[in-house]
């Protein structure tokens, strides 16, 4: 059995990790970290876990934790994981970081968009960007995984094949994303109260959202050159789900068949990416609770643009599910172990 510890187990992503790992036959959670609920029963924080998890929440005693587990998941605010990582720790355990600390290779970009100083930039080069469908081989040998963001995973997977194959003008990409509210976290803020979110939709972080440089970096690798794009997130009155609607100018002569071929090339053997049949738009309801990303596109012959669409569950493929997928790869397990989840509807 792989022994796992979770730092930040009482946020929404941390709790989803608990749910998923409880359905994983090769993993045992031995450490429920939570600074906010130290010594409190985990099920007092999330009552769905009553009679399932009997543990109490613990503080982050990293040394003790590193001795006790094989893998640490950090589902914590920005900066925390960077402050924990050390050569000594990485020699003992694998770290899968669900925060942004190691996602961006250029530390100045990180520090500018996140507004904090990076505590351990020396580990950035080693960290592997844990988007399994793209970096599978690198993940297998990694000690430190930068688990991608929720918007990011959806955006990159949706656009990647067309960028990689050079079918679209990479400088023309516009990503309009919509997210359920669990992405905003469990912090007590007026803006996230039921009555403020319900019956409302809004854009936020327009031109400044922190997932922007992460998407740009990864799609830049695919394009073979740096690129800039627009990314606009929106908050939707639902619990889970991200929908990405992305626009780009088609390169001269590119046909619908070329685009479908590109998606097939990269995803037809991928278990967790479903390229939908022509004419079917991705919808968040069809992926809820699962590790799938549903993708499709539509060509507009009038404007010579392609509209790319992707949907996933922000807490699964956008966070905890992807973290488990990374763990499976690192430990040589079946990549889908614990993730064979039929989407729950309605």
Shortest gap between Cβ of 207 and its own copies (angstroms)? 4
Chain positions 302 to 331 lying near its own copies, rule: CB under 8 A, are 302-303, 305, 307, 309
Chain positions 277 to 306 lying near its own copies, rule: CB under 8 A, are 280-290, 294, 298-300, 302-303, 305
Chain positions 74 to 113 lying near its own copies, rule: CB under 8 A, are none
d(CA 44, CA 52): 12
Q: Which is nearer to its own copies, 59 or 256 (CB)?
A: 256
Q: Which is nearer to its own copies, 102 or 292 (CB)?
A: 292
- Report the alpha-carbon angle 314-319-323, nearest 5: 150
163 with 223: CB under 8 angstroms? yes
Q: Are strands 293-300 and 305-312 parallel, antiparallel or unpaired?
A: antiparallel
197 with 331: CB under 8 angstroms? no
Using CB under 8 A, pick the residue from 106, 206, 255, 334 that binds its own copies: 206
d(CA 178, CA 201): 9
Q: Which residue has the tokens 């399994």?
A: 132
| Cα→Cα distances 313→95, 224, 247, Å | 23, 29, 21
Q: Are strands 174-179 and 242-249 parallel, antiparallel or unpaired?
A: antiparallel
Chain positions 4 to 63 lying near its own copies, rule: CB under 8 A, are 12, 15, 18-19, 22-23, 46-52
Candidates 104, 66, 69, 70; CA nearest to 85 is 66
Chain positions 106 to 165 lying near its own copies, rule: CB under 8 A, are none
Residues in the chain: 346
Shortest gap between Cβ of 341 and its own copies (angstroms)? 8
CA 26 to centroid of chain Cα atoms: 22
Segment interacting with its own copies, rule: CB under 8 A, options 27-35, 62-70, 101-109, 272-280: 272-280
Question: Is position 1 an interface residue for its own copies (rule: CB under 8 A)?
Answer: no
Residue 57 is a catalytic residue: no
Q: Which of 132, 150, 154, 281 is catalytic?
A: 150
Q: Which is nearer to its own copies, 181 or 325 (CB)?
A: 181
Segment interacting with its own copies, rule: CB under 8 A, options 109-117, 147-155, 274-282, 318-326: 274-282
For the annotated catalytic residues, the residue numbers are 150
């Amino acid at each position: 059995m792989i022994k796992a510890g979770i730092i930040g187990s009482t946020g929404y992503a941390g709790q989803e990790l608990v749910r998923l790992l409880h359905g994983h036959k090769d993993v045992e959670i031995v450490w429920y970290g939570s600074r906010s609920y130290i010594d409190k029963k985990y099920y007092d924080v999330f009552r769905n876990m009553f009679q399932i998890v009997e543990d109490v929440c613990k503080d982050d005693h990293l040394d003790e934790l590193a001795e006790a587990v094989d893998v640490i998941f950090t589902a914590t605010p920005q900066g925390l994981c960077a402050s924990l990582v050390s050569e000594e720790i990485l020699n003992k355990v694998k770290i899968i970081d669900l925060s942004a600390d190691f996602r961006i290779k250029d530390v100045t970009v990180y520090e500018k968009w996140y507004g904090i100083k990076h505590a351990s930039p020396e580990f950035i080069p080693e960290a592997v960007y844990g988007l399994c469908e793209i970096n599978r081989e690198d993940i297998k040998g990694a000690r430190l995984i930068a688990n991608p963001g929720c918007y990011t995973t959806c955006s990159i997977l949706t656009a990647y094949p067309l960028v990689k194959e050079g079918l679209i003008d990479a400088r023309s990409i516009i990503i309009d994303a919509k997210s359920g509210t669990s992405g905003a976290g469990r912090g007590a803020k007026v803006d996230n109260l039921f009555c403020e979110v319900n019956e409302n939709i809004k854009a936020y972080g327009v031109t400044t959202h922190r997932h922007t440089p992460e998407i740009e970096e990864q799609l830049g690798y695919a394009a073979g050159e740096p690129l800039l794009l627009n990314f606009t997130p929106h908050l939707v009155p639902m619990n889970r789900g991200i929908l990405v609607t992305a626009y780009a100018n088609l390169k001269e002569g590119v046909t619908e068949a070329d685009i479908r071929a590109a998606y097939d090339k990269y995803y037809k053997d991928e278990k967790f990416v479903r390229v939908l049949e022509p004419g079917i738009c991705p919808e968040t309801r069809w992926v809820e609770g699962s590790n799938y990303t549903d993708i499709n596109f539509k060509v507009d012959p009038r404007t010579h643009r392609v509209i790319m669409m992707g949907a996933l569950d922000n807490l699964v493929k956008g966070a905890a599910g992807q973290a488990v997928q990374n763990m499976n790869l690192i430990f040589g397990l079946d990549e889908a172990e614990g993730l064979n989840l039929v989407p729950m509807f309605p």
